[in-house]
Structure 1
């Protein structure tokens, strides 16, 4: 197989679109070969090509080598190709019928490019660091990794040739940030994207069919007769121990296989490994007791993928009874339900002598351990036993896919790496994604099937600085100090910031507990300081409010007093004005009385004198002299007698004033007037005006 530069994947996706432009079912190997030839013409604008030129184009663009006889047989089909005669038979050229060329060009040949562009335009806010070209380049690199790994796997599966070297593992091609972007693209719920990637994987299958000159008819018929031994990792995924997403896609895979006629078996060693690993993880959980309730969300965030401890914490969340024995029973129940649901056989009949285990198993174990690079012996030994088990029950019937009945289904890509270098004919192992691709190609498919298939295309990511066992110990220590999920997350976030420091050295749980205690105490101090600051701020705010209230109250009182003074002043002025008007009216009446009395007094005197003078003039002084003295004598004696008795002389003016005063007092009483009241009001008015 010719190696490709990853940029050629753009052409290959177009080739895959051409190959599947028509119905993808009921296809023969010759039909597939014709599709590759048609793709060469599409890529070269339907130019006229000689047989030699066409062979070279197919080899250059697709890495396929056809013989001249194969090509001639294809292009001689007048329903699809046109032959143009030249002088020499060697110069005869061929191209597609114009109608056929138009039909193929009308198909969505560039659908992968369009899918990538549509995704980028709708997720541009998320993919801020990449341009459209750099994003396309990343996705095409990912598609190239799918292409290489699947062509290698399917070539091994559908043919009898040996594969010298498996392509580089996908996860080693991309950094963590790129893996996140790729996985988001793969998870995108889009039918066009799902079909386009599925076509690429189908291209890998048909490429392998052509390379190995295999029969599509034999391949499709032989799929229904297979018996699959399930790996422990598949059981973990199917039960949900490795997360709900993996559970759903593994169940989908098992259901599709069952519908397609495959049978499932769990070997004795896989069963032992399953229950032993469950027991091991429970013991590990038990070593971290006591621990309180642990946030499943926080654990999932920092765990290296979904695992046993995550499964336990999600199961425990919200439960009143959550003992390890209850949890163990729960897992055993799930296992029994899975076995029943998919009619899985448990095979306890070991096809070799267990007491004198063949030495080849130890060799396999060591080889697998070298590939996996882990120090745990037991899992490698179980893998080796299962690999040898499959070889034994095949009993040499593994020349091609038709004669091979038994396979070991695993999600362990490193185990498959070992198998690729180990198996000379049919591989012992198959990944679920590889078998799913074959089922969907040759058996049946729907939109949901495409989606299930694409779910296997996620790239694994290993960016955790802490193992699941270590994380459990850390979270157990934290949970001893607090079961509040938000605080647990805050504490472990601070641990991650320092890359866990010395916490992972020695007693991890104790270190984590001490760290959490210190963190919580500091947090408590901060909270107390914050509370004190808040209290002081509240006190200050309270004092300010009280001061403002007092100020407002004072102002209100002052305003009220001012309004009262003004009102009182207005009332006093009004009362003074009323009293003064009454006083003026009274004084006018008194003045009128005084004037009247004075007029009467002086008028009487004038009348008396005038009468006296008239009498003198009429009668004569002689006659009037005596009367003058007689009348004048009382006038003389009365004042002197009054003075002798009273000690004061008679003053008619004073008498008039006394009469007027008495009259004034009468009027005061009549009109309810008092000088004292008026004086008091005036004093009050002056006092108010002074204070104002």
Structure 2
């Protein structure tokens, strides 16, 4: 492809840097639709998913999450105000953007960055056509994505020289220029390269309208699709509600178009055995004291642990066997809803030596391929191999292209897909959901809601999380061992989140270590006033871990020493038991101390009233003695009352003079109740003790 043709291709792919030629660039139209939707919303802030639903409802146009996110977060789009909150991206239009919505923004195409690179590296690019070199390299990147799709159209497509760019024929000088361009720290340049690479599918659709490579909907009907276990997890809601909603829309598209959806017996067995395996891991650290609401308050990946804790909320009986039964019930309803067949008849004889050898080769090849890519092996390579062979046998050698081939395997396993694509000249078996939806939505009415499902199957990089769901489950169980109070559990968990789970969770720690660390952290927070106890527990825990580690190291060395170490371990356990008793004793002392403090607070008013009573007695006594004392105001008050001639006034004031005696009687009664009465003191002490005991339970 000549340089001018490549230039046109890059301009088409660089959607975010497009010029005013909006009729050619679909994403310019997408941006205007989003802006129009936000204009109608006024000043209200909308999430990306709300924008997608709003556009579908108001305009009957289907958008995907990736397109919306890419548009609203682009640095050139200054009119979008975004805010990341609770794992969602919220968007609104700035006031300035509302007023200047039709204004054009200057674009920075890949040519702009190549020119800038040449100007900053004149010595490096001297006497070579660096633009042609970079164009060729960028086109090679673009073509690797394009050809992988074209292999569906033409199974003879050779990917061996395209998949790995390191095998391309570049001189050392050309490699130096390419590497310097790639390592140049410029975000917008990197974004432009990304758009070129990611635009391959649309390019392939736009450039394959004629000839044998054309894709027409009529030629894609009456196909059968086997589902991988990872698709089942998504559509059941185990990977989150958003993915469930998009996955159901995706599968509904198959029903609407008359395509068959099938689950092989191997996949169904893998799914059910996998659920049981996950639940067994949950069971290892499950506790009725854990409050599942707290699990939802921490941002973790959506998986079986999140699904379990969400199911558990509000239930009195949350037995794990019931949880398994619930998942199986959802699975059965899912099969009914989407008219899914379970293929129980293997199209091959597992006892046949050739079949057995082929399955072993496939299993080994898939496992090795995934490990070489440095990726986590998703599911069982044995089940993957069975499904691959299953579909190969069902195809009956009708594998010329996507039109002739009837059977496919839908999976979100990228490594399995790449393994499949690099094999012999056959139409690939494994399809990503996004691949198939991209084909259909290119030729179906985009006002259909189905295109929303496209987003959930794109392999976007997830936001970094502090902890995975399994470790969070273990941490919460450890915290719950120390306290059943949801507020105390939340306080400790929030402290751990703020500290990024430092010292409690790390990759090198076993689940048991994490569990113990969580307990220790919770204990330190709840009993930080007992510093001495905390130190003893930490020391003892450290010693116990050291002894346990020594046992593990030496138990295979000498049989006699194993028994010795076991005895020592039992001794440590007894010490732990003694320390636990000591903890109880110290807690009892703390309770007794708080009871005494509360009793003092309860008796304190009576002591002050004694002083008041003394003043009343003094007031009454001075009316009858020390009459000659110049400061004897009570007596003077009495004599003054005697001088009053009005009988009513005189009687009223005389009565008021003796009214304090009533107060003195009440004070005496109150003092008696709080300071002298044994029964009252015992009753009050018992109430205080009950309250304090509940507090430190």
Normalization by structure 2: what TM-score?
0.52
Q: Is the 8 A contact 1:202 1:437 kept in 2?
A: no
Change in 2 beyond 3 A, CA 1:346/1:338: same
Which has the higher mean CA deviation after the structures are superposed, 250-259 or 499-508? 499-508
What is the SS of the residue equivalent to 2:481?
helix
Find the counterpart in structure 1 of residue 527 from structure 2: 522
Q: Is 1:441 paired with 2:442?
A: yes
Find the counterpart in structure 1 of residue 219 from structure 2: 222
Q: Which runs of 5+ in 2 are unaligned?
A: 31-68, 95-106, 114-138, 166-186, 188-193, 532-586, 624-631, 646-697
Displacement of 1:403 after TM fit?
Answer: 0.6
Distance in structure 2 (CA, Å) of the matches to 1:306 and 1:233: 13
Q: Deviations over 1:238-262 (max 9, x none)?
A: 1111222211111111112211222
Change in 2 beyond 3 A, CA 1:513/1:456: closer
Distance in structure 1 (CA, Å) of the matches to 2:471 and 2:248: 30
1:248 to 245, 249, 252: 245
Q: Is the 8 A contact 1:158 1:214 kept in 2?
A: no
Displacement of 1:367 after TM fit?
Answer: 2.6
Structure 2 counterparts to residues 85-124 of structure 1, below 5 A: 116=74, 121-123=80-82
Q: Is the 8 A contact 1:465 1:499 kept in 2?
A: no
Q: Is the 8 A contact 1:157 1:426 kept in 2?
A: yes
Displacement of 1:393 after TM fit?
Answer: 1.5
Change in 2 beyond 3 A, CA 1:369/1:213: farther
Tell me the C-alpha RMSD between the 2 structures: 5.4
What is the SS of the residue equivalent to 2:462?
coil
What is the SS of the residue equivalent to 1:228?
strand
Q: Is 1:158 paired with 2:156?
A: no
What is the SS of the residue equivalent to 2:261?
strand
Structure 2 counterparts to residues 69-84 of structure 1, below 5 A: none
Distance in structure 2 (CA, Å) of the matches to 1:376 and 1:125: 32
Change in 2 beyond 3 A, CA 1:14/1:452: farther
Q: Is the 8 A contact 1:369 1:375 kept in 2?
A: no
Q: How many residues align?
A: 448
Q: Deviations over 1:632-661 (max 9, x none)?
A: xxxxxxxxxxxxxxxxxxxxxxxxxxxxxx
Find the counterpart in structure 2 of residue 429 from structure 1: 430
Q: Deviations over 1:299-343 (max 9, x none)?
A: 356675111122112111211111122111111111110111111
Structure 2 counterparts to residues 558-597 of structure 1, below 5 A: none
Change in 2 beyond 3 A, CA 1:445/1:366: same
Displacement of 1:432 after TM fit?
Answer: 1.3
What is the SS of the residue equivalent to 1:346?
strand
Distance in structure 2 (CA, Å) of the matches to 1:7 and 1:442: 20
Distance in structure 1 (CA, Å) of the matches to 2:476 and 2:520: 11
Displacement of 1:392 after TM fit?
Answer: 1.9
Find the counterpart in structure 2 of residue 657 from structure 1: none
Which has the higher mean CA deviation after the structures are superposed, 261-270 or 463-472? 463-472
Q: Deviations over 1:550-588 (max 9, x none)?
A: 99xx9xx99xx999999999999999xxxxxxxxxxxxx
Displacement of 1:409 after TM fit?
Answer: 0.5
Change in 2 beyond 3 A, CA 1:125/1:516: closer
Displacement of 1:388 after TM fit?
Answer: 1.9
Q: Is the 8 A contact 2:264 2:342 kept in 1?
A: yes
1:337 to 333, 336, 350: 333
Find the counterpart in structure 1 of residue 275 from structure 2: 278
Displacement of 1:235 after TM fit?
Answer: 0.6
Q: Is the 8 A contact 1:166 1:420 kept in 2?
A: no
Distance in structure 2 (CA, Å) of the matches to 1:470 and 1:113: 35
Normalization by structure 1: what TM-score?
0.52
Q: Is the 8 A contact 1:238 1:250 kept in 2?
A: yes
Q: Is 1:407 paired with 2:408?
A: yes
Change in 2 beyond 3 A, CA 1:203/1:284: closer
What is the SS of the residue equivalent to 2:216?
helix
Find the counterpart in structure 2 of residue 328 from structure 1: 324
Q: Is 1:505 paired with 2:464?
A: no
What is the SS of the residue equivalent to 1:349?
coil
Distance in structure 2 (CA, Å) of the matches to 1:460 and 1:331: 28
Distance in structure 2 (CA, Å) of the matches to 1:359 and 1:15: 57
- Which of these two proteins has the greater Rg computed from alpha carbons? 1
Distance in structure 1 (CA, Å) of the matches to 2:590 and 2:335: 59
Higher helix proportion (structure 1 or 2): 1
Displacement of 1:507 after TM fit?
Answer: 2.8
Change in 2 beyond 3 A, CA 1:334/1:425: same
1:265 to 262, 266, 282: 262
What is the SS of the residue equivalent to 2:24?
helix
Change in 2 beyond 3 A, CA 1:416/1:324: same
What is the SS of the residue equivalent to 1:122?
strand
Distance in structure 2 (CA, Å) of the matches to 1:506 and 1:457: 32
Q: Deviations over 1:525-565 (max 9, x none)?
A: 599999999x999999x999x99xx99xx9xx99xx99999
Displacement of 1:470 after TM fit?
Answer: 4.0
Distance in structure 2 (CA, Å) of the matches to 1:382 and 1:433: 23
Distance in structure 2 (CA, Å) of the matches to 1:304 and 1:13: 40
Find the counterpart in structure 2 of residue 487 from structure 1: 488
Find the counterpart in structure 2 of residue 292 from structure 1: 288
Distance in structure 1 (CA, Å) of the matches to 2:315 and 2:81: 41
Q: Deviations over 1:149-192 (max 9, x none)?
A: 86354333334423334589xxxxxxxxxx9xxxxxxxxxxxxx
Find the counterpart in structure 1 of residue 473 from structure 2: 472
What is the SS of the residue equivalent to 2:80?
helix
Q: Deviations over 1:268-303 (max 9, x none)?
A: 1101101110121122223335x2243445435667
Distance in structure 1 (CA, Å) of the matches to 2:10 and 2:216: 27
Structure 2 counterparts to residues 188-203 of structure 1, below 5 A: none
Distance in structure 1 (CA, Å) of the matches to 2:403 and 2:197: 24
Change in 2 beyond 3 A, CA 1:353/1:301: farther
Find the counterpart in structure 2 of residue 369 from structure 1: 367
Q: Is the 8 A contact 2:293 2:309 kept in 1?
A: no
Distance in structure 2 (CA, Å) of the matches to 1:234 and 1:414: 15
Change in 2 beyond 3 A, CA 1:377/1:435: closer
Q: Deviations over 1:209-239 (max 9, x none)?
A: 6269655765322222221100001111111
Change in 2 beyond 3 A, CA 1:114/1:476: closer
Displacement of 1:112 after TM fit?
Answer: 7.9
Change in 2 beyond 3 A, CA 1:410/1:118: same
Q: Is the 8 A contact 1:243 1:306 kept in 2?
A: yes
Q: Is 1:417 paired with 2:418?
A: yes
Change in 2 beyond 3 A, CA 1:520/1:365: same
Distance in structure 2 (CA, Å) of the matches to 1:395 and 1:428: 13
Q: Is the 8 A contact 1:269 1:386 kept in 2?
A: yes
What is the SS of the residue equivalent to 2:380?
helix
